[in-house]
Amino acid sequence: MAKPTTSLRTYALTRLALVLPMLWILLTLVFFMMRVAPGDPVTAALGGRLPEKELQQRRHAAGYDKPLIVQYVDYLGDVARLNFGTTITDDRPVTDVIVENGSATLELTFWAMVVALSVGIGLGLLAGRLRDSGADVSIRMFGIVVYAMPAFFLGFLAQLLFGERLGWLPTSGRASPEVQFLLPTHTHLYVVDAIIYGDWATFKDVVLHLILPAATLGLIIAGVLIRLVRVNVLQTMKGDYIEAARARGIDEKSVVYRHAFKNALVPVVTVLGLQVALLMSGAVLTETTFNWPGIGFELVRYLNNRDYIAVQGIITFFALIVIFISLLIDFVNAWIDPRVRY
Amino acid sequence: MSATAPVLDVRDLRVWYGSARGAVRAVDGVSLQIRAGEVLGLVGESGCGKSTLGRGVMGLLPDGSAVDGQVLFQDTDLLKVSDRQLRRMRGPDIALIFQEPMTRLNPLMRIEDHFSESITAHEPKLGKAEVRRRSLEALGGMGIPPTRFRNYPHEFSGGMRQRIMIALALVLRPKLVIADEPTTALDVLVEAQILSILADLKRNFDTALLLITHNLGIVAEACDRVAVMYAGRIAEEGDARTVFSQPAHPYTRELLRSVISLNTTGLHYIPGAPPSLIDPPAACKFHPRCPDAMRVCAQLAPVEQRLSAGQRVECWLHGPSDRIPEGGREPLEQGRIAVAEEA
Amino acid sequence: MASQLIARAGRAFGPVREARGVPRWIVWAGIVLTLLFVVMALTAPWISPYEFDQYKDASGQRFVKQQAPSSAHPFGTNVQSTDVMSRVIWGARTELKVVLFAVVVSLLVGLPLGLLSGYFGGPVDRVLVLIMDALFAFPYLLLAIVIAFLLSDKFGSGVATAAFAISAVYIPQYFRVVRNHVVSLREESYVEAARALGARPRTVIGRYVFQNVVQSVPVIATLNAADAILTLAALGFLGYGIQPTDAAEWGYDSSRALSDAGAGIWWTGLFPGMAIVLLVTGLTLLGEGLNDVLNPVLRRRKMEPVTLPPRAPQEDEA
């Protein structure tokens, strides 16, 4: 019955090997989804705007005249080399889109996650500890109502209140036009770049623009986390080892913080991976609401223009991110909970 | 036996807790004493309240339970002290060993951490080296090598986990140990090991031990005295050897007859099922199932008697005769033993 | 057979009546809120002051654009000169129609798949799990957008396409939950005993597994409906949902209202948004309340307080 603990490294390698089938399935799904629409992407995007010969050339360049199976293999090969294609409508390598707009999204989701974790975990732990009290019920209700608010509604309210009525915070874009123009982009993460640039006014401008979108998205995710953490705390407090710790004379505060809370957060880490998917979905809405030039924003734009190659590239990128994040989460989980390693 | 004061002196303890259907009278007036170096076995069927008694002594009862009586631990009434004081006594003075070792250790903490937490909770000034030395010593006494000190609970088998739990309970050298069915979840070989460990306690540290179990074999092997519990009360209590050879209470007698050994040729059982603790039978709680029941047993609650061999028993068969009314000694006409309510 | 099934499902809900305290209150709040919108949706043609796309009154006079709330228009009018209140009421109809459709479809596909896959296992199960997990891990909105987009290219946008797009997103969820539940049930002793007695798979699934699984379905379906409304609104907001000429949809209205915020016009965005929040909250409370009630691990039976009676003196102490 005793099992030796596998090293973290063995676990990581095993996990990596297991994730490849899932990745393959995702990519296959993306590939076929993009070919459901009749005709080819080039015609769909540019048909009627360019002469037929030109269209044929482009089709050939993009490889759309080859048989399906060849296209499929090419696609997989491209993904392996991290080549996501070139957009049809504005001739940008999708990789550029990913880097420039992706970092905008990254910045937004990162800070949103910070908000979500601090608010969500903090309130969730509190609610679990004070079960069935007034505070517990209010926190639960808060969590439910906040999650019920679509990002665009919360954004709308935020813009109304903080933007228009109070005038405290900007409601659109990553930075004011002047700052946008002046800021040299090394990392494309404006906060980091502003720090490197060293100018206080620029930094302030960038941060102010970040507050509303990050808070909006973060609060919504916090709503989910609150309920999750609370339930886990309640489950954990019933554990046999909690009673055993009390029987050894450990004071209640230590029992709650060291045994209950820590153990309660472990399953939360697992579910954190799912929150990332939620985060990305929310990001699309938040970006549209606040005119934040992220990758979700671009995706919507390309979709409207029927630029299927761009869409395929972006969605593929998302698939890779999803797999990567789930791996990361599993890894962190194994690090925290030694029982999980095979 | 020395005439020293008992380590534990329980006087008329009652523990009732609430349920959807009414109050459960888990412990309904129990008195017992344990001296230093003495092992008292507490036996009874499942649901007779023995676990509640063990927890009641420690103060680990669920919310909504009502307790009264006295639980004197070396002259301190545990029912009257503050929560803080009680917490401080758990570990260095009284320790509890649980039944299921598999789930009693925090899966995310190493064994080392369990020990350091326990020790420093009660002796915060102790240095790391000393904490480690004591932990390894306690574990060593249980046969757990120091190489496994930094392992996680899931890396140990059930028997080993129980030994770790015992080591954890003993590391602070408590004067009283309450073991709540410590071997029920383990196989026979491991059981023997654990029992010998518990026997060593008595020998080496003069620890008083309350051994709660439903297994009469264990009691016969490991206990000095035995208390037989039925429906929240002590039916009979005395020296183990005496009680087993000359059981005074019909319940004890029937229990002993039900034990299966190599000589058993036919199965013996006590008809009926353990009584409901919410609505126990009137007067003597055993009378519906007692083969020797008399009329008085259904009318008046029996009075505790002290027998010549040193036992305490609550049974009208042993008198006092002057309290038994006219015709009370006639055998009770039992209706068909009704299918008893689940306890 | 059907009546037996219903009776069995009914028995599975016994615990609802037993729960007390906070959970009950939550369930009722959820029921009230949800019912409010259901009634709104059902009675829309009668209680709505105007049509959802009506921009002039009976005499042919065009409504004032973006007019603040008044007696004629309690919720004001929006940028297309339509009455906000009417659009909110008619919107309830749209939301519930689509979501009901989507939940039913997801259930019809996901539940049996999960049941069979979980019970029979094998390579088919493993492949299905892989596919469903992959879909489940993907950001749901992106999936919905792409599917809605592709479907609308082929079939035109409307209630059906939106519903199908949404159900496609949630099928993996039903599948997962049902399958995992079935797998854990399969290991239970009583199922094993039944199989040892030679019960046919159909009996085992029908009698034991189904009743157990059915208990978790209402919670998931309710919480799912809540999510589905958010997804539909999101699709509408981005423009991939229902077109305004087909029906009123709260998400679409919110997208038009966004630019109004800068001008201080609050009524065009507030009311559709509030409607979404209230309906989703109602459904979530219902689902959470049901979960608290049906999930035995967290259920806390109310304990009657216990008082010890004074000790009875010995009966014969005369």
The angle, 0 to 180 degrees and rounded to 10, between the axes of the packed helices C250-262 and A151-158 is 20
Q: What is the pTM of this model?
A: 0.79
Token readout for A112 is 């949103």
Is pLDDT above 90 for C147?
Answer: no
User: Phi and psi for B180 in degrees, rounded to 5?
Assistant: -95, 100
B90, A246: Cβ pair inside 8 Å? Answer: yes
Nearest CA in chain C to A38: C154
Concatenating the DSSP letter of every residue in A83-148 gives: ---B-SSS--BHHHHHHHHHHHHHHHHHHHHHHHHHHHHHHHHHHHHTTTSHHHHHHHHHHHHHHH
Question: A315 in contact with C at a CB cutoff of 8 Å?
Answer: yes
Q: d(Cα C194, Cα C208) in Å, to the nearest integer?
A: 9
The Cα A131–Cα A138 span in angstroms is 11
* Reduced 3-state DSSP string for chain B: CCCCCCCEEEEEEEEEEEECCEEEEEEEEEEEEECCCCEEEEECCCCCCHHHHHHHHHCCCCCCEEEEEEEEECCEECCCCCHHHHHHHECCCEEEECCCHHHCCCCCCCHHHHHHHHHHHHCCCCCHHHHHHHHHHHHHHCCCCHHHCCCCHHHCCHHHHHHHHHHHHHCCCCCEEEEECCCCCCCHHHHHHHHHHHHHHHHHHCCEEEEEECCHHHHHHHCCEEEEEECCEEEEEEEHHHHHHCCCCHHHHHHHHHCCCCCCCCCCCCCCCCCCCCCCCCCCCCHHHCCCCEHHHHCCCCCEEECCCCCEEECHHHCCHHHCCCCCCCECCCCCCCCCCCC
Quick one: pLDDT at residue B94? 92
Question: Best interface-test mutation with B: which of A3, A7, A241 has the largest number of B CBs within 10 A?
Answer: A241
Check C306 against B64: CB less than 8 A apart: yes
Write down how long chain C is. Answer: 318
Q: Who contacts A267 (Cβ-Cβ below 8 Å, separation ≥6)?
A: A232
Containing C110, the helix (H) or strand (E) segment is helix C84-120
- Smallest Cα–Cα separation from C225: which of C296, C288, C178? C288
Q: Which residues of C touch A280 (CB under 8 A)?
A: 139, 141-142
Minimum distance, in Å, between the CA of residue C316 and any CA atom of chain B: 7
Nearest chain B residue to A336, by CA: B108
Indicate the burial class of B325 (C-beta count within 10 angstroms; 0-12, 13-18, 19 or more). exposed
Give chain A positions within 8 Å (CB) of B118.
248-250
Q: Provide mean pLDDT across the span C160-173.
A: 87
Residues 6 or more apart in contact with residue C193 via CB below 8 angstroms: none
* Start-to-end Cα distance in chain C: 67
Q: Pick the residue from chain B with its C-alpha nearest to A335.
A: B108
Helix (H, G, I), strand (E, B) or coil at A47: strand
Backbone angles phi, psi at B29, to 5 degrees: 100, 70
Q: Is A150 on the interface with C (CB under 8 A)?
A: yes
Is the predicted pLDDT of residue C12 greater than 70, yes or no? no
Strand ranges (E), chain C: none
Weakest mean pLDDT among A37-46, B21-30, B184-193: A37-46
Angle at CA A291, nearest 5°, toward A285 and A293? 90
Please give the average per-residue pLDDT across C225-239, as a whole number.
Answer: 90
CA distance B213 to B194: 13
Which member of C306, C312, C314 has the closest CB to residue B18?
C306
Helix axes A308-336, A295-304, angle to 10 degrees: 150
- Structure confidence at residue C15 (pLDDT): 47
Distance CA(B335)–CA(B316), nearest Å, equals 20
Q: Which residue of A has its CA nearest to C296?
A: A235
State the residue for tokens 């015609």.
A43
Would the pLDDT of B53 be above 50? yes
Contacts of B83 (CB under 8 A, 6+ apart): B59
Around Cβ A134, how many Cβ atoms within 10 Å? 8
The owner of tokens 């050939």 is A60
Other beta carbons within 10 Å of B79: 16
Give B9's Cβ-side CA count (13 Å radius): 9
Structure confidence by residue, pLDDT tens digits, C30-79: 889 999 999 988 888 888 877 777 776 767 667 777 777 777 777 777 77
Q: State the residue for tokens 């010593």.
A: B137
Percent of chain B with pLDDT over 90: 22
Distances (CA, A) of A12 to A19, A212, A332: 11, 38, 10
CB-nearest to A159 from C238, C261, C280 is C261
Q: Which of B102, B159, B164 is nearest to B139 (CA)?
A: B164
Taking CB atoms and an 8 Å cutoff, what residues of chain C touch B65? 306
The string of pLDDT tens digits covering residues B146-179 is 999 999 998 898 888 998 998 998 888 899 999 9
Backbone angles phi, psi at B208, to 5 degrees: -85, 140
B174 vs C220, residue with greater confidence: B174
Q: Does C317 touch chain B (CB under 8 A)?
A: no
pLDDT for the residue numbered B132: 92
Q: Report the residue of A131, A281, A286 to disrupt the C interface, i.e. the one with the largest count of C CBs within 10 Å.
A: A281
Q: Residue C18: pLDDT above 50?
A: no
Q: Do B90 and A248 touch (CB under 8 A)?
A: yes
For residues C152 and C146, give the distance between their C-alpha atoms in angstroms, rounded to a whole number.
10
Segment C176-188 shows an average pLDDT of 81
**Token duo for residue B115:** 């020990």
Rounded Cα distance between A188 and A200, Å, is 18
Helical (H) or strand (E) element with A289: helix A262-290
342 residues of chain A, pLDDT tens digit each: 444 556 667 777 777 777 787 788 778 877 877 777 666 667 766 777 777 777 777 777 777 777 778 888 888 888 888 877 777 778 788 888 888 888 888 889 999 999 999 999 999 988 888 877 788 888 988 998 999 999 999 988 888 888 777 777 777 888 777 777 777 777 777 888 778 778 888 888 888 888 889 999 999 999 989 988 888 888 888 888 999 999 998 888 888 888 888 888 887 877 777 788 888 888 999 998 888 888 888 888 888 777 778 888 888 888 888 788 878 877 777 777 776 664
Return the percentage of chain C with pLDDT > 70, whole number.
82
Look at A240 and B88 and tell me if their CB atoms are within 8 Å: no
Band (B41; pLDDT cuts 50, 70, 90): very high
Q: What is the mean pLDDT of residues B249-266?
A: 83
Q: How many CA atoms lie within 13 A of B278 on its CB side?
A: 11
| C-alpha span between A303 and A295 (Å, rounded) | 12
pLDDT range class, residue B20, cuts 50, 70, 90: confident
Shortest distance, CA C35 to any CA of chain A (angstroms):
17
- Chain A segment 265-284 residues within 8 A of B by beta carbon are 266
**pLDDT reading at C243 higher than 60:** yes
Contacts of B167 in chain A (CB under 8 A): none
Q: Cβ of B18 and C311 within 8 Å?
A: no
Q: What's the pLDDT at C14? A: 46
Tally of CB atoms within 10 A around B291: 11
Q: Hey, is the C-beta of C17 within 8 angstroms of any chain B C-beta?
A: no
Calculate how close chain A gets to B73, using CA atoms only, in Å. 16
**Amino acid letter, residue C19:** A
Check residue A341 and give its pLDDT: 60
Tell me how far CA of residue C1 lies from CA of C107, C194, C207, in angstroms.
Answer: 20, 20, 12
